[in-house]
Chain A
Amino acid sequence: GAGVSQSPRYKVAKRGQDVALRCDPISGHVSLFWYQQALGQGPEFLTYFQNEAQLDKSGLPSDRFFAERPEGSVSTLKIQRTQQEDSAVYLCASGGFETQYFGPGTRLLVL
């Protein structure tokens, strides 16, 4: 594909459910980032992958958040036992040294 794709685009979860969010980066991009964007806020960094290696997970808000990129391409962000405060748009970006290209995001609503 031409750009970064994410699925699902929208997800409604009941509090306590586990969710998995998928990111397909631009083909060949080594770097992959996840960001969380709360309503009315700018995106905030969650985690970074270089190929399959997770080099920075300093932004993950709790141990309920887990991300993986096992083959260095597609990445999954998993949230266990979702809480209402997890409601946000989750953005994935891939890119090179200078520029990150963002996907459309997954809007998560936890009820």
Chain B
Amino acid sequence: AQSVTQLGSHVSVSEGALVLLRCNYSSSVPPYLFWYVQYPNQGLQLLLKYTTGATLVKGINGFEAEFKKSETSFHLTKPSAHMSDAAEYFCAVKNGGTSYGKLTFGQGTILTVHP
């Protein structure tokens, strides 16, 4: 069984500050890992994903995440927060190497950016 834990349901940063959203996963097989962003009354938009290969992955809007197998983590970072980054962020995991995979999501982290 897979699971995802996002530490911190709410994170607040100042504009221009570092953004760090934490995600830890549990998976019995090599995972594929994803970060999605959800703006109010909208669906989920893919920010970035890790499947295989390079463990540091870069996504849209300046976000990046690093897969650390030894720590079972996939934390999301952005060097400098922008007001438009305010949204809810979801980490998700699926089984790698299968023909399809349902996503298992964390509970989400709401990011607030203060001017």
Contacts and interface: CB of A to CB of B under 8 A. Distances in A.
Nearest to B96: A98
Contact of B49 (A33, A45, A98, A107): A98
Chain A binding surface SS class:
strand
A38 to B, nearest CB: 11
Interface residues of A, number: 27
Interface stretch (A12-20, A48-56, A65-73, A78-86): A48-56
Contacts of B106: 42
A59 interface: yes
A7 to B, nearest CB: 13
B103 A43 contact: yes
A102 B100 contact: no
Interface residues on B, range: 20 to 34
Contacts of A98: 32, 49, 51
B99 interface: yes
Interface stretch (B12-20, B39-47, B61-69): B39-47
Contacts of A87: none
B3 to A, nearest CB: 11
Contact of B100 (A31, A42, A107): A31
Contact of B102 (A45, A99, A101): A45
Given A48-B100, A100-B46, 18 more contacts: A4-B43, A40-B107, A41-B107, A42-B4, A42-B105, A42-B106, A42-B107, A42-B108, A43-B90, A43-B103, A45-B103, A45-B104, A55-B100, A91-B43, A98-B49, A104-B43, A105-B42, A107-B41
Interface of B: 4, 32, 34, 36, 41-46, 49, 51, 90, 92, 99-100, 102-108
